[in-house]
């Protein structure tokens, strides 16, 4: 009897460990999707959809076959994302190389045109020297008239050639600039929410630290966000993140930076803002960014109530970005336990 009871206890422990492992696995899937390199928004969106499908297959009664199948699906999703991302990067690399090659060809064309025009000017010089040796003024006048007309035609041709070449170079440079701007934008934007990503936020914080301040940061974390994903799915969760990010971005100054830090965490960087003013900003942003969110999911409108906690910290000269954010993070979790800013 004791052996049977011990056996049943061990089974329950194994089941509990298995459920915990599945929860960790599901969390890992979500984090992979959230932190996927923002190579191209549609590729990241497709990866998240496939990871969500893998996560849904992890039922409590899943056995070895289901787990093996989910592992194969995960490997396939990651491989497809890697292959597609590599292709996009190769295409961008080739596009930039093509533009540079075109610019080089346009420059070479200008050089060759200049060489040809220089040679033709040399011919005109020789003709003028020959005319200067003609004894008859009447013949000199006649020959000069002919050469001047040819020179006018030559100058017009040179101007047209240079204008065409310069216009081509201008178009190529403009195209190059636009593509670079798009590439730079992709590098600093969070693919889900469209606001500044963490890497760019860290870069801007480092620049402010290097200048020595003053500035403050607000560290937002959505309360009970996991419940939204668990109850309505990750599509609803993504809509909450997008809506919250949009509300934040619409209610800050032009010089402020709103960035997604990861998951349901957001950071607002406030240049030139001291701590008392930062507290007032935090209270206002909590007021306008929390509340009811209407989400269009699966052809129906969901009304979801979202609240947020915020940590506030002002930069102290001499501290690092990590130290500053650590203070804001500690304040944030104190606020979650005992709210004072609402």
**Chain segment 281-326, per-residue pLDDT in tens:** 999 999 999 988 888 877 788 888 889 999 999 999 999 999 999 9
Q: What is the pLDDT of residues 141-160, one digit of tens each?
A: 666 566 666 666 766 776 77
- 262, 198 in Cβ contact below 8 A? yes
In the block, which residue shows the tokens 């509990």? 16
User: Which of helix, strand or coil describes residue 290?
Assistant: coil
Torsion of CA 209, 211, 214, 218, to 10 degrees: -30
The strands making up 308-314's β-sheet, listed across from edge to edge, are 257-262, 265-271, 215-222, 308-314
Residue 139: pLDDT band (50, 70, 90) is: low
Domain ranges (residues) in the chain: 2-88, 105-188, 198-337
pTM for this one?
Answer: 0.55
Instruction: Tell me what pLDDT residue 102 has.
Output: 64
- The total of other beta-carbon atoms located within 10 Å of residue 58's CB is 17
* CATH T-level topology, domain 198-337: Alpha-Beta Plaits (3.30.70)
DSSP for 25-87, please give it.
Answer: HHHHHHHHHHTS--S-HHHHHHHHHHHHHHHHT--TT--HHHHHHHHHHHHHHHHHHHHHHHH
Mean of pLDDT values over 25-54: 76
Identify the helix (H) or strand (E) that includes residue 113.
helix 64-132
More confident residue, 307 or 173: 307
């Amino acid at each position: 009897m004791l052996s049977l009871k011990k056996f049943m206890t061990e089974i329950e422990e194994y089941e509990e460990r298995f459920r915990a492992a599945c929860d960790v696995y599901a969390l890992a899937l979500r984090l992979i999707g959230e932190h996927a390199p923002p190579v191209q928004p549609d590729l990241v969106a497709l990866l998240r959809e496939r990871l969500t499908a893998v996560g849904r297959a992890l039922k409590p009664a899943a056995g070895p076959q289901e787990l093996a199948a989910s592992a194969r699906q995960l490997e396939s999703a990651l491989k497809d994302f890697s292959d597609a991302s590599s292709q996009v990067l190769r295409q961008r690399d080739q596009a930039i190389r093509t533009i540079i090659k075109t610019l080089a060809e346009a420059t070479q064309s200008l050089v060759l045109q200049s060489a040809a025009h220089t040679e033709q000017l040399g011919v005109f010089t020789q003709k003028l020297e020959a005319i200067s040796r003609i004894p008859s003024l009447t013949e000199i006048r006649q020959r000069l008239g002919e050469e001047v007309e040819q020179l006018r035609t030559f100058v017009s041709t040179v101007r047209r050639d240079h204008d065409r070449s310069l216009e081509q170079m201008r178009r190529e440079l403009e195209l190059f600039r636009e593509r670079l701007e798009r590439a730079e934008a992709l590098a600093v934007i969070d693919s889900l929410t469209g606001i500044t990503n963490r890497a760019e936020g860290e870069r801007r914080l480092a620049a402010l630290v290097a200048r020595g301040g003053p500035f403050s940061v607000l560290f937002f974390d959505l309360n009970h966000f996991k419940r939204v994903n668990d109850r309505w799915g990750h599509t609803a969760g993504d809509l909450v993140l997008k809506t919250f990010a949009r509300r934040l971005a619409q209610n800050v100054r032009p010089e402020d930076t709103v960035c997604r830090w990861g998951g349901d965490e957001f950071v607002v960087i406030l240049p030139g803002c001291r701590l008392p003013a930062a507290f007032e900003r935090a209270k206002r942003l909590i007021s306008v960014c929390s509340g009811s969110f209407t989400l269009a999911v699966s052809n129906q409108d969901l009304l979801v109530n979202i609240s947020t906690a915020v940590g506030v910290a002002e930069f102290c000269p001499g501290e690092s970005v990590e130290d500053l954010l650590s203070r804001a993070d500690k304040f944030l979790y104190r606020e979650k336990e005992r709210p004072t800013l609402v």
